[in-house]
Chains A and B, each alone.
Chain A
Amino acid sequence: MRIVPFLISGLCTVGLVAVLNMQLTTGTGKTPRLGYFLSPQHGFWQNAEAANTGFDADLKFSDLKGKVDVYMDDRLVPHIYAEQDIDAYYVQGFLHAKFRLWQMEFQTHVAAGRLSEIVGEDRLPTDRFFRRLGMVYGAEQSMANMEKNPEMKATVQAYSDGVNAYIQSLKPEQIPFEYKLLDYKPEAWTPLKTYLFMMFMAYDLTARGATTDLQMTNAKNYFGYDDFNKLYPNVQDSLDPIIPKGTEYGYPGIIPVAPKNVDSVYLNKNKIISGSTAMAPVVADKDNGSNNWAVSGSKTKSGRPILCNDPHLGLNLPSLWYEVQISTPSHNTYGASFPGAPAVVIGFNDSIAWGVTNAGRDVIDYYDMKFKDSTLSDYWFNGDWVKAEQRTETIKIKGKPDLVEKIAITVFGPVMYDKAYKNASTDGKYLAVKWTAHAPGNGLQTFYELDRAKNYNDYQKAISGWLCPGQNFAFASKAGDIAIKQQGAFVARWKRQGDAIMPGTDSSYMWQGIIPADENPMMKNPARGFVSSANQMSTDSTYPYYLGAANSFPLYRGIIINRKLSVMNAITAEDMQHLQMENYNVFAEMARPVLLKFIDEKTLSGEEKKYIDILKSWNLRGDASEKGATVFKCIWDSLETEVWGDEFSKNKLPMTWPDASTLLENLLKDSAYRFADNINTANKTESIRDDVMAAVKKASGKLHYYEDEGKLEWAKSKDTRINHLLKIPALSRLHLPIGGGTHMINATKDMHGPSWRMIVHLTDEIEAYGVYPGGQSGNPGSKYYDTFVDSWATGKYYRILFIKKEAAAKSDKMKWHMTFTNS
């Protein structure tokens, strides 16, 4: 034995193994453990699913009560036929896990504030934000509430058991790709995770206020109430509400009364004070919204209703949605489900169809609390020191010691910001957050009942218990009814209540009640033959409750949808496909004349003139190849900067910029708009004309750049992409050739848009179409990972296969058959 070379080569071997067995830090993050990751028997090669993989299986689980047959169609959509309802959810859990396990766990880790545990301290700000917002607290409240209902408890438990049955069946090399990339392992699923997922949706759809209430407070303090009220009005001139103008509303059950000191203490009328709070690390997208509409048989070719829905959310891979048919003796339902939760969320059954859009109402507020000291044990309320409950949240951090968050719980809710969690502008204030998502909810029960609803009354009953996030539930039935109702726990507010931080030292600013469900805006079988919603304000100002500041409500999609629907007749499902893909920009229709009015063409350079000519000849559409759409957006964005940039950059604290609609409506009626003046130029008062001309010149620079890059066409300058949840470009779909955008029915922006397009024609044999920007498999190594993306981008739909079990067994569309039995 040659000892020295032996030792050297032995050390080399051990060293090499050690290096290849650890995550190496690079400039952009951490590598996987390369030896493990590359090992064909352990690592990522195992996730390279053969293109001709079959999904036939005979599976036995002792938890099952009866037999379940699953037919997988050629799009990998499972059609679940179960003898027992409870087994259907077990199998749904199993299939969600089989195709989407990593995503399910990751999303609930986000909601639970547990990202630091898997990716390290980089994500600590997100984790702390979610913990302190009370995400886990809210999920616990809802779970405790739902467990009082034996049927729902059993449903969520069966779903959880199904997920775990799959996890337990996994061999080490079979765990999803992303676990190998980030180097961690799946943990057991629990019912709480389902509620955490529901909290995530509540956050995404209702918690913009967690950020904007702070920014609105900054704006109110900076501008003073009068200007604040002009910049963030609570009416919109061109509003076409969900419930048509002129509808009469009954006498309200609650008449909220503003506190006596509201002008001086809360609204700070005629007073400018300084100092406030800051940006959140996570801000839900402002345009989390959607379209839905239903037309009655009087307007369709077949004489039967058609219902359409396209919820607009962040576009991600794997997709938020997973298509499924669930058929049991009690119901037969098809639609989009959330990996992470049982039941179908948006869809249809043998009798009815339903779809949702976000209500956008303000259901989250901050209260400024006074604590005795930084131990957070006593707070001042109604003239006394009151003991706060204490909650601790332990955040595990990969490679670092745990961080323990201590959160005081007040009569309003958890104290999100305090002296330990603050930033320059929160200034150590104690801000308690009150949010309807903290209240014990019953969200899943609504979907469970909608899945089984047979008629209008069942639909009303199903949604009556829905609390958060508030939604516009559109409905259509084979029986011929159409309806829409805005449902949720909506606060009976006095005007401006909760638009900004409120005093929390006594009960005078507390919520005075939740609006009774039967007073929520609703409409059934209107004479105009259609119902619709597009996140606009649900009513005009005669509705007896304050809906919230108008800048929470997009205005223009609703206008164009109603304009189109009111003139359409003999409608077919194909017409509806075109309507969902409609790229006409009604905002531009109103704004372009204003721009052109103020443009003095004589003073333009040749290049500027060229762009203005494109704008003038533009057809107002955001189709993929339109150059005018790019020109319009660049000029409008530059104009906003000209008008607001001076005022808004003076304040060091972040403030929400006024809405495009606010600026446009002011320009339409006030040619001497005061904010047009650039406050940085002392000896000159700029007019709108000056601002528009400056905007044209600035925009031309950007347009010149786009033109050089060959990106003047709208789809290219907009650059729609569907990011993987980890934002890894190789796992994402980039540069999609799709038109649409803000203000258009096809609301496809750069990273946000229609996340599921569905059309249901309620004929005897239901004719339904659907498509979502993703694929049924969450595995980046599967050919089903992004199957639908190209169809989605080009506006193609899939005819949905909604069939009975006997037909499924014979259908040549069904490619695979899985059976689940208990012995």
Chain B
Amino acid sequence: MKILSAIAITAFLAYVAGLYTSFPWWGFVVTSLIVSVAIHQKPGKAFLSGFLGLFLLWAGMALLKDAANEHILSAKVAQILPLGGSYLVLILVTGIVGGLVSGFAALTGSYLRRSR
């Protein structure tokens, strides 16, 4: 259950950090690191928690925005980037990018405390 609460708190704090949009987009690096220090897990699990926390948050928010927008913008951006015009791929890429950064931050946090 530890991993679930780590994921949930990672996502929640990243969301809160993201509300302050005059701060950079990577504000969650700090919160994800703190979460993995506070809820200590083995490196693999810490990475997974950090990754999933942001993956779910970013992909989820993107999914909501995209549904309300009826894919108008995502279809265009997915051609510019280029991702074959697929909004689904774009949402996944969004989640993976956030997830990777957060995962590495959490991994870093887990190495801060000696594992038992």
B76 at the binding interface (Cβ < 8 Å): yes
B5 at the binding interface (Cβ < 8 Å): no
| Chain B hits for A1, CB < 8 A | 111-114
Q: Do A12 and B104 form a contact, CB below 8 Å, given A34-B97, A42-B21?
A: yes
Count B interface residues, CB 8 Å: 45
Q: Do A181 and B97 form a contact, CB below 8 Å, given A17-B26, A48-B72?
A: no
| Chain A hits for B7, CB < 8 A | none
Interface digits, A6-22 against B, CB 8 Å rule (1 contact, 0 not)?
A: 10011011001100110
Asked if B108 and A10 make an inter-chain contact with CB atoms under 8 angstroms apart, the answer reads yes
B58 at the binding interface (Cβ < 8 Å): yes
Per a CB cutoff under 8 Å, which of B19, B69, B104 touches A50? Answer: B69
Q: How far is the CB of A39 from chain B (nearest CB, A)?
A: 4
Cα separation A1 to B57 with both chains bound (whole Å): 29
Count A interface residues, CB 8 Å: 45
Asked if B18 and A42 make an inter-chain contact with CB atoms under 8 angstroms apart, the answer reads yes
- Chain A residue at minimum C-beta to C-beta distance from B73: A781
Cα separation A48 to B78 with both chains bound (whole Å): 13
Cα separation A12 to B93 with both chains bound (whole Å): 19
Asked if A2 and B69 make an inter-chain contact with CB atoms under 8 angstroms apart, the answer reads no
Give 5 new A-B contacts, CB below 8 A, not counting A40-B57, A781-B69. A6-B112, A12-B107, A41-B19, A45-B73, A181-B80
Most buried by A among B22, B70, B108: B108
Asked if B108 and A38 make an inter-chain contact with CB atoms under 8 angstroms apart, the answer reads no
Enumerate B56-73 residues with CB–CB distance to A below 8 Å. 57-58, 61-62, 65-66, 68-70, 72-73
Asked if B43 and A177 make an inter-chain contact with CB atoms under 8 angstroms apart, the answer reads no
Q: How far is the CB of B111 from chain A (nearest CB, A)?
A: 4
Q: Do A45 and B111 form a contact, CB below 8 Å, given A35-B101, A39-B98, A171-B21?
A: no
Asked if A17 and B29 make an inter-chain contact with CB atoms under 8 angstroms apart, the answer reads yes
- Chain A residue at minimum C-beta to C-beta distance from B58: A40
- Choose the segment among A125-133, A492-500, A555-563, A726-734 that binds chain B (4+ C-beta atoms closer than 8 Å): A726-734
Interface digits, A29-45 against B, CB 8 Å rule (1 contact, 0 not)?
A: 00100111011111111
Q: How far is the CB of A788 from chain B (nearest CB, A)?
A: 16
| Chain A hits for B107, CB < 8 A | 9, 12-13
Asked if A40 and B111 make an inter-chain contact with CB atoms under 8 angstroms apart, the answer reads no
- Chain A residue at minimum C-beta to C-beta distance from B33: A13
- Chain A residue at minimum C-beta to C-beta distance from B63: A40
Q: Across the A-B interface, how many residue pairs have beta carbons closer than 8 Å?
A: 129
| Chain A hits for B10, CB < 8 A | none
A782 at the binding interface (Cβ < 8 Å): yes
Asked if A48 and B74 make an inter-chain contact with CB atoms under 8 angstroms apart, the answer reads yes
Asked if B24 and A36 make an inter-chain contact with CB atoms under 8 angstroms apart, the answer reads yes
A389 at the binding interface (Cβ < 8 Å): no
Cα separation A2 to B116 with both chains bound (whole Å): 12
Q: How far is the CB of B63 from chain A (nearest CB, A)?
A: 9
Q: How far is the CB of A54 from chain B (nearest CB, A)?
A: 12
B94 at the binding interface (Cβ < 8 Å): yes
B105 at the binding interface (Cβ < 8 Å): yes
Q: How far is the CB of B70 from chain A (nearest CB, A)?
A: 5
Cα separation A156 to B65 with both chains bound (whole Å): 37
| Chain B hits for A50, CB < 8 A | 68-69
Interface digits, A781-800 against B, CB 8 Å rule (1 contact, 0 not)?
A: 11101000000000000000
| Chain B hits for A730, CB < 8 A | 75-77, 79-80, 85
Asked if A44 and B73 make an inter-chain contact with CB atoms under 8 angstroms apart, the answer reads yes
| Chain A hits for B22, CB < 8 A | 172
B100 at the binding interface (Cβ < 8 Å): yes
Q: How far is the CB of B6 from chain A (nearest CB, A)?
A: 16
Asked if B108 and A9 make an inter-chain contact with CB atoms under 8 angstroms apart, the answer reads yes
List the interface of chain B (C-beta within 8 A of A).
15, 18-19, 21-22, 24-26, 29, 33, 43, 57-58, 61-62, 65-66, 68-70, 72-77, 79-81, 85, 93-94, 97-98, 100-101, 104-105, 107-108, 111-115
Enumerate A241-268 residues with CB–CB distance to B below 8 Å. none
Q: Do A41 and B29 form a contact, CB below 8 Å, given A13-B105, A47-B73, A730-B80?
A: no
Subset of 23 A-B contacts with CB under 8 Å: A9-B107, A12-B104, A12-B108, A16-B104, A38-B58, A38-B94, A38-B97, A38-B98, A40-B18, A40-B62, A40-B94, A41-B15, A41-B61, A42-B21, A45-B73, A48-B65, A48-B73, A50-B69, A730-B75, A730-B85, A780-B72, A781-B76, A782-B72
Asked if B74 and A9 make an inter-chain contact with CB atoms under 8 angstroms apart, the answer reads no
A823 at the binding interface (Cβ < 8 Å): no
Q: How far is the CB of A38 from chain B (nearest CB, A)?
A: 5
| Chain A hits for B43, CB < 8 A | 5, 9
Q: Do A21 and B21 form a contact, CB below 8 Å, given A45-B94, A51-B69?
A: no
Q: How far is the CB of A174 from chain B (nearest CB, A)?
A: 9
Cα separation A133 to B49 with both chains bound (whole Å): 60
Cα separation A513 to B43 with both chains bound (whole Å): 84
- Chain A residue at minimum C-beta to C-beta distance from B101: A16
A52 at the binding interface (Cβ < 8 Å): yes
Per a CB cutoff under 8 Å, which of A5, A48, A729, A780 touches B111? Answer: A5
Cα separation A20 to B93 with both chains bound (whole Å): 13
Asked if A51 and B112 make an inter-chain contact with CB atoms under 8 angstroms apart, the answer reads no
A49 at the binding interface (Cβ < 8 Å): yes
Q: How far is the CB of A81 from chain B (nearest CB, A)?
A: 31
| Chain B hits for A13, CB < 8 A | 29, 33, 101, 104-105, 107-108
| Chain B hits for A780, CB < 8 A | 72-73, 76
| Chain A hits for B104, CB < 8 A | 9, 12-13, 16
Asked if A41 and B111 make an inter-chain contact with CB atoms under 8 angstroms apart, the answer reads no
Asked if A48 and B66 make an inter-chain contact with CB atoms under 8 angstroms apart, the answer reads yes
Asked if B66 and A41 make an inter-chain contact with CB atoms under 8 angstroms apart, the answer reads no
